[in-house]
Chains A and B, each alone.
Chain A
Amino acid sequence: MHLVLFFIFGGFCVAGALNLLLQRHPINSALSLIVVMTSLAVLYLLLGAEFLAAVQVIVYSGAIMVLFTFVIMLLNAQREERTHGSRAAYILGFPGAAALFALLTFIFISNGKSLGFAVLGPDMVSTSQLSSVLFRDLLLPFEVTSVLILIAILGAVALARHHEPHKDESKTQGKER
């Protein structure tokens, strides 16, 4: 059962990632990335991370991908054209990625015996266990992330705001001085 679910959703993951690589229109890539992220949530659940599975669906395939599709539609992104600069990337990119994959797979297979098996059920990490670690031992990093998100919001608003040229120049110059 576990093995069957792993192969079904792992296959979805790989198929979605390959589709992201092969599609030339950004919106198709974004939709296939949603497939990858949602099937990764199922794999998290198989590995006993129930909270992370929920967060993966809500934050990644919910919030972040909505932001991506929103930006693609806002900027009216067209099919990407083949350019001269992409040839070097083709020559170097595929062998490099294949070499990386071969190296990682070799390491994982040669050490696979000592890593053991993932069993469905007994190793479930409940949300209360996770939160007791997060809010007791790691409270300071958790609070720092909230500051990080606040700064990210301010930065995003400042970057994406539509400037009026005259006002803005005087403002930035004033800041620099």
Chain B
Amino acid sequence: MVPVSYYLILSAILFSIGVGAFLIKRNIITIFMSIELMLNAVNLSFVAFANYWNQINHQFSGQIFVFFVMVVAAAEAAVGLAIIIALFRTRKTLNVDQVDLMKL
């Protein structure tokens, strides 16, 4: 028996670490990985809430949401990494500080 709130707190910990890594990392691949970490944290909270609703009225829509999030994350990873490869070909760098064409 584990309180559902423990799972939610774990998901909050993972999400906060993901936000921190997203902000302080300078390598574009690592930034992308921290986005994946945040998606995983949200998935964990979805599954925890699905467990809670399944106990009350036998609904588990949260797990369906997680399935769709995984599909979108897979598509996003494929396209994002292709963009990173194209960026590296033109700029020869992975540092986000040197990719500031759209910065004011």
Q: Within the complex, what minimum Cβ distance (angstroms) separates B97 from chain A?
A: 4
Instruction: Kindly state the separation between the CA atoms of A163 and B31 in the bound complex, as whole angstroms.
Output: 27
Q: Which residues of A lie under 8 Å from residue B63 when comparing CB positions?
A: 49, 51-52, 125, 130
Instruction: Kindly state the separation between the CA atoms of A2 and B5 in the bound complex, as whole angstroms.
Output: 14
CB–CB B50/A67 < 8 A: no
Main secondary structure of the interface of B (DSSP, over half): helix
Task: Report how many residues on chain A are interfacial, defined by Cβ distance under 8 Å.
Answer: 86
Q: Which residues of A lie under 8 Å from residue B73 when comparing CB positions?
A: 60, 64
Q: Which residues of B lie under 8 Å from residue A13 when comparing CB positions?
A: 10, 14
Residues 70-92 of chain B, each 1 if its beta carbon lies under 8 Å from chain A, else 0: 11111111110111111011000
Q: Cβ of A55 < 8 Å from any Cβ of B? A: yes
CB–CB B19/A97 < 8 A: yes
Minimal Cβ-Cβ distance residue in B for A95: B20
Minimal Cβ-Cβ distance residue in B for A158: B82
Q: Which residues of A lie under 8 Å from residue B71 when comparing CB positions?
A: 145, 148-149
CB–CB A105/B12 < 8 A: yes
Instruction: Kindly state the separation between the CA atoms of A124 and B5 in the bound complex, as whole angstroms.
Output: 19
Q: Which residues of B lie under 8 Å from residue A170 when comparing CB positions?
A: none
CB–CB A118/B48 < 8 A: yes
Give A57-80 interface residues, CB cut-off 8 Å to B.
59-60, 63-64, 67-68, 71-72, 74-75, 77, 80
5 A-B pairs closest in CB distance: A93-B23, A112-B5, A152-B75, A101-B16, A104-B12
Q: What are 7 A-B pairs with beta-carbon distances under 8 A? A: A20-B37, A21-B34, A77-B94, A86-B24, A97-B17, A97-B20, A130-B67
